[in-house]
Structure 1
């Protein structure tokens, strides 16, 4: 399968520093449900600590992608649900450990009033495209 085509800023659209505006992929779609900062035993990681939660969420995303035969290189879209936009720098730092700036997927960030339980600061979902 060929690499996804990334269009960081289409003509007439302002460039974005933290995501790619358009990502085109061909192949099999992999949808990864929103991941929380839970370890493999279902215990919260990083209560009150956005950086620790972000690292765990990205590790969970990595494991889910691997189960589908995908990697972060195959991710074309991510959605970040955060209880406070102040957590975005921690998310970007955790993401940088897995996705280089020149391979950023399309993305949306949404601040929500709450997640499934109050101790969760973020939930992140991903869509990837892999060879059929």
Structure 2
């Protein structure tokens, strides 16, 4: 990356405020690295879905879409995602909703892992990398 292309923080009120010392995304040259999103409502900061993994997944993807949009990107530019699940038995339900956002064209490369726990008791978290060039 040229010295003139310093990393740039991307933050938008259309996605939840980070719960720690990080940005919603960082643009580095032609790449956008989006932090993991959990199902927080951007306005209230409250968890969405009450444990319903489908409702949580829809909110997570809305949040990711808002961050991508704030950087001038779209889901079509996402090249890599990581899906974190509190319970791998939720894979099929999450995958069906995920396909609504990433199923057309070239789907991103992806990893999906079960984790011991997610922030605020979320059942799903998704991060992504997008190519802006």
TM over 0.5: yes
Contact 2:76–2:105 (Cα < 8 Å) also in 1: no
Matched residue, 2:46 = 43
Matched residue, 2:130 = 128
Matched residue, 1:29 = 31
Task: For CA contacts below 8 A with separation 6 or more, give which structure has more relative contact order.
Answer: 1
Candidates 49, 64, 88, aligned match of 1:85: 88
Shift in Å, 1:38: 0.6
Candidates 95, 106, 110, aligned match of 2:109: 106
After superposition, where does 1:9-24 map in structure 2 within 5 Å? none
Shift in Å, 1:56: 0.4
Task: Mark the runs of 5 or more structure 1 residues left unpaired by the alignment.
Answer: 1-26
Deviates more, 1:87-96 or 1:38-47: 87-96
Matched residue, 2:16 = none
CA distance in 2, matches of 1:125, 1:28: 17
Q: Secondary structure at the match of 1:73?
A: helix
RMSD: 1.3
Task: Mark the runs of 5 or more structure 2 residues left unpaired by the alignment.
Answer: 1-28
Q: Which digits, 9 at most, give the CA deviation of each residue in 1:109-129, with x for residues without a partner?
A: 1110001222x1011000000
Q: Secondary structure at the match of 2:47?
A: coil
Give yes or no for the alignment of 1:52 onto 2:40. Answer: no
Q: Across the two proteins, how many residue pairs are aligned to each other?
A: 104
Shift in Å, 1:96: 2.0
CA distance in 1, matches of 2:83, 2:130: 15
